[in-house]
Structure 1
């Protein structure tokens, strides 16, 4: 018989995380601790968290928790995940999938028995440079390169585009494309009438790809950009809220991007992410997986999924380096070594997601 305890916790960013949609200074997560009376002492932990103004299931706290409670109750009663019912709530599905995967793995953080999960190989990741002033972004870039990253993603759209272009130009004067792979993420920050011109301005500098150049739901413009862009276009926000398999296929067939970028807590949980990757692969569209500002609990789950989907010997850098964002992150056996994320199997840290008793609820 299953039971689930829920706690909530607010995490604090070490530095404000800026995107074209705003700046995050805190992140609230709900944690599910799943147990089974038939396996005493074994638990699975999952994280459910949304990003305001971005997640399709970003509900007010009270409504979010009530909805989450209902799905937890249904799962404990039936013993199975109702994927179809949970499709509109990807962050909740992801948390439940994570908790169940860890419980099924006997409580281990190695969910799927991969070389990564066993600590035998790392996953290559990109270094992430958040939006900021020219000087801030350049200092952050230097720090990533000094740490050994060979693929760096720049968040752009916060300062004047000409200054951002100056930064890209300066990078390429020092670091040729053979030495450092550059990705840029506009987070939908370009206006449709200027987007193609800006992509053409970036093209001479050997950019690997640009994520979401214009805001989602502008399909006519996105079709034109994907077809005419001198840079490979990767879709991210465009995929949010597209939960039905038929709708996913229609989006891919219509827009024809070169890549899709998948965040399980935004794009359908583990099940939805696997479905996106399958559909994209059938159309020769590339993909990679990235975290979405989760704590280390969610980051580990995303990494375990990545290793299971793409591994072993992953060559394309993934977006899994956000574990150092928070001042009060939850300990997990993860480490960044150079430009790779590793699972440290020798570590025995148990996540501590305790909260005041008033914040806890249990369903059976």
Structure 2
């Protein structure tokens, strides 16, 4: 099969699979701890044999699992089959008609379309989006919830590797001890903290005061995603800026949180891909919010596309594949360096992802 336009640029074939990957150490947040990560991978081939690769990391919190993703992917892929992959507006409108939820599955198809389209026009994805590779911020490294000494060692190793920014996962009754351990392990690092919605509003404000003493830059998702008034209370009384992640899933959520957040966290896996993530990013800018591009623990097949958004953002949290065990990821991307630097100049075409 060739594309609908008849010139071989349409999606002629596709395949999907799941990939399970071991982490280099168990990774904990306030909602639980995991030792493995699973992504769904989509490959699209056009009529001239060019291939685009995309992936998504389904998370039940955002309405999807690997099993549900694999169930709905054939319906999503039926939308793009025979079509030029660059018709993203048309594709996403049709996605809404055939599948509810499952943003990571949508993201996998969207990323594969972006990758294939950029390869067809022989341009890097970041250039196709109009982004300046020299403006990409450095990625932070996430220090997961663990005993304080383990978090100190993790922070020290990340600082030794060259990371300048660390994100510290919190949400326990020993948060101060954990932050102190991280600060001891990485005394020069810029710290951000992420409670993943674990704190009550007054608790978050109290903790913000002593967190400021550790030179923390901002606190991410201090209260439950549904607690909009709690988020406002923290925003108005906190000693630190506030970032909204779980409270701001798509562009439609931005107006509801923009008057109670300083930073909006954009992720392909919760927004549904590059196209809707860009809409969320621009909505955040229109409301005078800063933006951080984030990720799940996932394969480079999706992180490479997220990195293409980084130049348009103030902060980056794109360490997902760096948390995997050596050799666990079947894909490589040289644009995210082991020290957190983002070097998009190495991308020649597409997202820049390659198979190992």
Q: TM-score range by the shorter chain?
A: 0.7 to 0.9
Q: Check whether the contact 1:211–1:235 (CA below 8 A) recurs between aligned residues.
A: yes
Q: Which runs of 5 or more structure 2 residues have no equivalent in the other structure?
A: 4-10
Q: 1:294 offset after TM fit, Å?
A: 1.6
CA distance in 1, matches of 2:342, 2:206: 36
CA distance in 1, matches of 2:43, 2:25: 29
Find out whether 1:284 has 2:284 as its counterpart: no
CA distance in 2, matches of 1:23, 1:220: 28
Deviation readout 1:270-307 (Å, 9 max, x if unpaired) = 12221222121122111110121120111111112324
Larger mean Cα displacement after TM superposition, 67-76 or 328-337: 328-337
Q: Check whether the contact 1:252–1:280 (CA below 8 A) recurs between aligned residues.
A: no
Q: 1:121 offset after TM fit, Å?
A: 8.2
Size of the aligned set, in residue pairs, is: 331
Deviation readout 1:243-262 (Å, 9 max, x if unpaired) = 4x5x4243134x42011111
Deviation readout 1:156-182 (Å, 9 max, x if unpaired) = 1256224224336646xx73xxx4311
Match of 2:77 among 64, 72, 88: 72
CA distance in 1, matches of 2:107, 2:78: 16
3-state SS in 2 of match to 1:101: helix
Match of 1:131 among 120, 145, 153: 145
Larger mean Cα displacement after TM superposition, 71-80 or 276-285: 71-80
- With the length of structure 1 as denominator, give the TM-score of the two structures: 0.81
Q: 1:219 offset after TM fit, Å?
A: 1.2
Q: Which runs of 5 or more structure 1 residues have no equivalent in the other structure?
A: 311-315, 353-364
Match of 2:34 among 24, 29, 51: 24
3-state SS in 1 of match to 2:49: coil
Q: 1:154 offset after TM fit, Å?
A: 0.8
Structure 1 pair 227/119, CA: closer, same or farther in 2 (3 Å)?
closer
Match of 1:144 among 145, 158, 161: 158
The aligned residue for residue 192 of structure 1 is 201
CA distance in 2, matches of 1:99, 1:21: 30
Q: 1:209 offset after TM fit, Å?
A: 0.3
- With the length of structure 2 as denominator, give the TM-score of the two structures: 0.83
- Which structure has more relative contact order (CA 8 Å, sep 6+)? It is 1
CA distance in 2, matches of 1:75, 1:19: 36
The 5 Å alignment of 1:243-322 reads 243=250, 245=251, 247-253=252-258, 255-307=259-311, 309-310=312-313, 316-322=314-320
Deviation readout 1:124-154 (Å, 9 max, x if unpaired) = 1112211111110000111111122221111
